[in-house]
Structure 1
Amino acid sequence: MEGTPLALAEGWRATVEASAAALEARMATGEALYGVNTGFGKLAGTRIPAAQLAQLQLNLVRSHAAGTGPLLPAPVVRLVLALKALSLARGASAVRPAVVEALLALLAADITPAIPARGSVGASGDLAPLAHLSLVLIGEGEAFVEGQVVPGAEALRRAGVAPLSLGPKEGLALLNGTQVSTALALAALFAAEDLLRTALLAGAMSVDAARGSDTPFDPRIHALRGQPGQIRAAATLRALLAGSQIRESHRQGDPRVQDPYSLRCHPQVAGACLDLLGHAAQVLEREANAVTDNPLVVEGGEVLSGGNFHAEPVAFAADAIALALAEIGAISERRIALLVDPVLSGLPAFLVREGGLNSGFMIAQVTAAALTAENRALATPRSVDSLPTSANQEDHVSMATGAALRLHDMADNLAGILAVELLCAAQGFEFHRPLQSSEVLERAHGLVRTAAAAWDADRAMAPDMAAVKALVERGRFAALVEMA
């Protein structure tokens, strides 16, 4: 999402020009065209005189810039710009090529519109956030330039980009669409994919730290069920544990017949999350390439009013990602609880010698539990929470933007949970020395130790957690995992 050049399909300009020409021809007939020579939403029955059509589009952008809350991260906004350019370049939105070129110019100049995160219900498009983006195109609003927020006009001046004068329907085409909710969901999906890989690594470390069995990862078990994600997760766990001396040390004579579910059922849970994320990725890939504004100019020049701006697919995808994030964290927290419990793990209580004098990882598990509880609450589906807007003209909405926005808090919480598990599992390794785990798990152990020393006596835990969490968020642990 950062710094990647955007190249549109060859021939996009001719397609876009044809769409704009078709709209111009329909306007010449004098018929009522929604959002072109009429008002918007509940005001669609109001005809606008030809002399005021340019003002209509300008008023739309200004009035709809009603967002609030913290600003969206720059990488997400860059993705929004790219998705909007891709959508308009499909040639069904009846805008001039200049509109697409203006979006591309912002990307090329690294001008990032300042977009408040809240204010969209994910139907009629992401109206408020896209209005804030569009303000910058016309030389208004605010934008980030070299890390500083400046007026939109100043941002364009510095980049040598001329403000855009909006033509018929162009304000509406810019505001209609699911690009903000889609960009937010995509960014969360990318984070979730990395976090799932990290969770598989952390889970494999916990298996060795607790002297668990790798029998539950036997491919014959998973082939009998046939769930593709589960099969991949089990294969990945097998590969992560392959060659572990710790595993070999207790292969014979271990009185435990079965491990707790958090170890034994990791392929089933992670695999289901893997399949869920895969489905969400398919939905979001389609949406990223979709035309989602209204009305649309189709082949033959006909202008059709519809509802492609309704972001229900994105809302469902975001809710699915939320379930995956919550469950990855929930089973990780259970492994943390297992590791600090001497009855279950066979390790010293709270993973520290001289327990009592030292509390070890006691409260780190409490923190993981708090983050897990928060993610459970955040995982409540948003797509079922429709609230009518626009005087009941927009009487069913998707809530996709909020659904996608909450994923970023969930991913942050999950990174914190996984950081605690990695710390606990690495500490567990210390009690099995001189035995070594597998090569890849020892590399993960070494990565933890670059950020946090072994826990010999109590000290402040928060700096260790923050340092390992930073490595999680940078994908350092995920990079160690080769998915089957």
Structure 2
Amino acid sequence: MQSLRQDIVEITGQHLAMEQVVSVSRSGSKVTLSPDAIERMVRGRSILEEAIARGERIYGATTSVGPKTTASISQANTAEFSRRLLRTHNAGHGPLAAKDVTRATVLNLLNSLASGTTGARPVLAERLVDALNADRPIAMHLWGSMGQSDMSSMADVALAVFDDIDLEAGEALALLNSSAMSTAVAVLSFVDLHRLLQLSTLVGALSMEGYAANPSTVSEIALRSRPFDGLVRHGSAIRKYIEGSYILSAGGPRNLQDPLCFRSMALIHGAAEDSLAFSRQQIGRELNASQGNPVISLEHGSLAAVANFDMITLCMALDVMRLAFAPVFTSSTERLAKLVDTTWSGLAIGLIEEDGIGAPGFNGVALFHKSITSEARLLTAPLAGELASSSHSNGVMDRASLAALGGRRGLELAQLGTSIVAMELIVAAQAAELRGRTPLGNVTGQLFAFARQTIPFAAAGQRPPNVQPLLEQLQSNRDAVDCMIAASN
């Protein structure tokens, strides 16, 4: 897929990229259909209509669906069958999707129709283009998908966009038999988690300075001894962030062997990077893969009954992505615990000098950090082994991938993770200033100054700062943070 202008994304049905999903869903980029996509849709519709004219039994086009597959649908009843099919699957309730998730879902559905493999007419794709470009609000529920097509959520979208037109044979199923919402949350959660991982490494580097940790674990010798791409990426990033730091000089590190939460940080974050590389590959492929049943082959001019609605590949990619963050977050918790504990850090108890009152200082922050890290760990549990039902639709739908849930948990994990990293930044900055060793690294020094814009040093008798202002600053000044992260390249 190519851009006609920077703010217009051309939909081909074959080349949708994750970055373009983010651009449309979060930056409001406009979309347009490529001429080739329109031709493919016309061709796909022609193949489907020719098969119908030959009297072929086609799931969802000439037959009903699920337990009523044996029931035939006459062409005179197609429009009414389509209306009922959408409405009977419109069972969604619970929380509504955020605007970016809804826009990403509509974009993914558009790209699927544009492939021509669903048999949907170009007019349906053009409706979706208009909805995106007009920034039309669509109420789409997040609950209801088992990961075998997001039927309930897609019914919300279809009824909002197409309720005033008659759908032709097979089109209602083409709209329902899509995992556009699962794929949308997969893309957005990946993007958020991948950026969070880079931020975690940057903050972890400042924690190293707050602890006066030994940087030998990110030396060239150390990184070359284990040839993993992620390790080299994050180890090199840490080295770049702390360039010029006191811990690189003689007498800088306090210990030969630091706790593993410091010593293994590059290994842990590197392993997460490698896991995310796999997830990115799978999610990227899913964006342009057929998710419908049946599927139309434009090359062979025929149809095939398939199980392309099974999102096991997507679910596995999301499982790997989320699971990678369990050690990232737990090691962050351990770094906080070590920094606030005078036995480990050599600093004041709770990182605040005693004023005779005996307040615990940052120990409460460490306990809260441990609490949300425990919650985050629960979100990393794999879902691919779950089975929702073995009896639905007369036993035909006898397994489920739960990909939609995996994506939603990814978004929630990114939100919790941002708080986890922000609290580590507060503690790392306090420890670094309390230790009083200078200079800080070229980039970690910038991060320290960035943090101090909203979180002041807690002197004797003062309470630790609240994390909320820092969270807001991380969100409102994303460009500044991204520039610091980019310094590692």
TM norm structure 1: 0.91
One-letter code of the match for 1:308?
Answer: N
CA distance in 2, matches of 1:48, 1:165: 15
Q: Percent identity?
A: 28
Q: Is residue 8–residue 86 contact of structure 1 (8 Å, CA) maintained in 2?
A: no
RMSD, matched Cα: 1.7
Residue number in structure 2 paired with 1:149:
none
Alignment of structure 1 residues 322-341 onto 2, 5 Å: 322-341=322-341
Q: CA deviation at 1:477?
A: 3.2
Residue number in structure 1 paired with 2:287:
288
Q: What per-residue deviation string (whole Å, max 9, x for no partner) do you get for residues 446-477 of structure 1?
A: 1111121111145565x621122233445453
CA distance in 1, matches of 2:127, 2:53: 27
Q: CA deviation at 1:300?
A: 2.9
1:135 is the counterpart of 2:190: no
Residue number in structure 2 paired with 1:91:
116
Q: Is residue 197–residue 478 contact of structure 1 (8 Å, CA) maintained in 2?
A: no
Q: Is residue 90–residue 156 contact of structure 2 (8 Å, CA) maintained in 1?
A: yes
CA distance in 1, matches of 2:271, 2:440: 27
CA distance in 1, matches of 2:199, 2:101: 23
> CA distance change for structure 1 residues 430 and 460 in 2, over 3 Å: closer, same or farther?
closer
Residue number in structure 2 paired with 1:465:
467
Q: Is residue 94–residue 169 contact of structure 1 (8 Å, CA) maintained in 2?
A: yes
Q: CA deviation at 1:376?
A: 1.5
One-letter code of the match for 1:451?
Answer: T
CA distance in 1, matches of 2:279, 2:296: 29
Residue number in structure 2 paired with 1:276:
275
Q: What per-residue deviation string (whole Å, max 9, x for no partner) do you get for residues 237-291 of structure 1?
A: 000011013542624xx66221110111011100000011111011111111122
Residue number in structure 2 paired with 1:244:
245
CA distance in 1, matches of 2:319, 2:344: 34
Residue number in structure 1 paired with 2:87:
62
For structure 1, the 5+ residue unaligned runs are: 140-162
One-letter code of the match for 1:59?
Answer: R
Q: Is residue 88–residue 291 contact of structure 1 (8 Å, CA) maintained in 2?
A: no
Q: Is residue 451–residue 464 contact of structure 1 (8 Å, CA) maintained in 2?
A: no
Q: CA deviation at 1:10?
A: 4.0
CA distance in 1, matches of 2:401, 2:70: 25
Q: What per-residue deviation string (whole Å, max 9, x for no partner) do you get for residues 202-243 of structure 1?
A: 110010011111111012222221111011110000000110
Q: CA deviation at 1:6?
A: 2.5
Q: Is residue 415–residue 473 contact of structure 1 (8 Å, CA) maintained in 2?
A: no
Q: Which runs of 4+ in 1 moved over 6 A?
A: none
> Once structures 1 and 2 are overlaid, which stretch shifts more, 448-457 or 192-201?
448-457
Alignment of structure 1 residues 80-479 onto 2, 5 Å: 80-123=105-148, 125-139=149-163, 163-248=164-249, 250-251=251-252, 256-298=255-297, 299-354=299-354, 357-388=358-389, 389-433=392-436, 435-457=438-460, 461=464, 464-473=466-475, 475=478, 476-479=480-483
For residue 380 of structure 1, give the secondary structure of its aligned residue in structure 2. Answer: coil
CA distance in 1, matches of 2:240, 2:195: 18
One-letter code of the match for 2:372?
Answer: L
CA distance in 2, matches of 1:277, 1:335: 23
For structure 2, the 5+ residue unaligned runs are: 1-24
Alignment of structure 1 residues 32-47 onto 2, 5 Å: 32-47=57-72
1:15 is the counterpart of 2:35: no
> Once structures 1 and 2 are overlaid, which stretch shifts more, 474-483 or 100-109?
474-483
CA distance in 1, matches of 2:185, 2:175: 18
Q: CA deviation at 1:71?
A: 0.6
Residue number in structure 1 paired with 2:3:
none
One-letter code of the match for 1:87?
Answer: S
Q: CA deviation at 1:324?
A: 2.1
Q: Is residue 137–residue 164 contact of structure 1 (8 Å, CA) maintained in 2?
A: no
Q: CA deviation at 1:197?
A: 0.9
Q: Is residue 211–residue 247 contact of structure 1 (8 Å, CA) maintained in 2?
A: no
One-letter code of the match for 1:136?
Answer: A
For residue 453 of structure 2, give the secondary structure of its aligned residue in structure 1. Answer: helix
For residue 324 of structure 2, give the secondary structure of its aligned residue in structure 1. Answer: helix
Q: CA deviation at 1:478?
A: 4.3
CA distance in 2, matches of 1:322, 1:416: 16
